[in-house]
Amino acid sequence: MRTLKYSAAIREAYAQLLRDDDRVFVFGQGLWSPWYVGASMTDLDKEFGRDRIIDSPVSENATTGAAIGAALVGMRPIVVHPRMDFMVLAMDPIVNQAANWCYLFAGGTSVPIVVRAIINRGGEQAAQHSQALQAWFMHVPGLKVVMPATAYDAKGLLISALRDDNPVIYIDDRWLYSEEEEVPEAMYEVPIGQAAIRREGVDVTIVASSFMAQQSIRAAEALAERGIDAEVVDLRSIKPWDKELVFESVRKTGRLLVADGAWKTCGVAAEIAATVASEAFDALRAPIERVCLPDLPAPASKSLEDAYYDHLGVDAVVRAAERMARVRERA
């Protein structure tokens, strides 16, 4: 089977969705630009026309609100925010509107949009070109949130997100764009809410998504060399998230490490840790650990930036897992 990079897998999903369904259109900033959205949308405007691939004015709020309006009358829009930081300007349409309308009108309507948020950090871009705000959206009832870690999932989850009748926040991370693997040419769906075990192990469960799932796979390899057999659970969707698979894994290993590429306080890792502590406490043989960013904005200068992202490094995951393994020796 041919292989595709993560970014090319996203582009293929777009092209197939646009070909498959007349109701699909894509709306957002930078869509006609050669550099804004990596290689994930190259020449889609040439292939499908600028009526369906609409590069918008600098209006995150109105474009997202308009996508909701189009969805409410039967279209299937994908709104693109090339930087998640700028998507903060669209919080009313996402949080107050898209998330609420189905409930407010008792299921009489729904908002089938995909809001694609790109995490685009590093490169000394500093605080407002770096943020990973997935926890905000996970918090809101009425939104689904997916975070693919692999090229296969990048394609399959975009297709599932678009075909879902509810608003789905699709978050991709540009640090994953060169991940490459076999990707089927046909259209396929990755079910929203279903996690995947990326590596089996018996000593510690590492739960992660997106970039941190890839970091965790690398960490598990390093841990194996040190005699620690880690199981890596890639959530793929953080809302809803696959509790059953996580519980099952924790019951096997007795240890839970959650890695999330965003701030620690009130983050995705906190939610998973709390749920496991509350609902699978008897399975735990060590305190739950979290690998996250510290509660501070991203800096610019290389020396500071390196120190900041070291918190998401493979070593950070390895060290945390080792700490947990030592608890076993004491037990």
Partner 1 sequence: MSDEHDVARRRLELWRRLYATMVRIRAFEERLADLVDAGEVRGPCHLSIGQEAIAAGVCTAIDTDDTIWGGHRSHGHYIAKGGDPRAMMAEIFGKATGCSRGRGGSMHIFAPQVGLLGTVPLVAATIPIAVGAALASKLRGDGRVAVAFFGDGATEEGHFHESVNLAGVYRLPVLFVCENNFYSSHMALLERRVSDNIALTGSAHGIPGVVVDGNDVVEVHRVADAAAERARRGDGPTLLECRTYRWRGHVGTSWDMDVGVRRKDELAEWLPKDPIARLRRELIECGVAESDLDREDETTHDLIAEAVVFSRTSSLPDPAELGDHVFTTATGK
Catalytic positions: 60, 129
CB atoms within 10 A of CB 233: 27
* Cα torsion 117, 122, 127, 133: sign: positive
DSSP state of 251: H
Whole-angstrom distance, CA of residue 207 vs CA of residue 196: 10
Binding of residue 218 to partner 1 (CB under 8 A):
no
Specify the residue, 88 or 327, whose C-beta has the smaller distance to partner 1.
88
Binding of residue 96 to partner 1 (CB under 8 A):
yes
Whole-angstrom distance, CA of residue 324 vs CA of residue 331: 11
Type of residue numbered 252? K
Per-residue interface string for the shown chain with partner 1, residues 139-158, x marking contact by CB under 8 A: --xx-x--------------
Binding of residue 101 to partner 1 (CB under 8 A):
yes
CA distances from 283 to 68, 73, 236 (A): 43, 48, 23
Binding of residue 50 to partner 1 (CB under 8 A):
no
Q: Which one of 37, 53, 94, 102 is in contact with partner 1 (CB under 8 A)? A: 102
Binding of residue 267 to partner 1 (CB under 8 A):
no
Residue listed under structure tokens 């945390």: 320
Nearest-10 crossing angle of helices 210-225, 314-330:
50
Binding of residue 29 to partner 1 (CB under 8 A):
no
Binding of residue 186 to partner 1 (CB under 8 A):
no
**154 closest CA partner among 270, 87, 234, 216:** 234
Binding of residue 309 to partner 1 (CB under 8 A):
no
CB of 63 to partner 1, least distance (A): 7
Binding of residue 194 to partner 1 (CB under 8 A):
no
User: Which residues in this chain contact partner 1 in the complex, by CB under 8 A?
Assistant: 25, 51-52, 56-57, 59, 61-75, 77, 92-93, 96-97, 100-110, 112, 141-142, 144, 163, 165-166
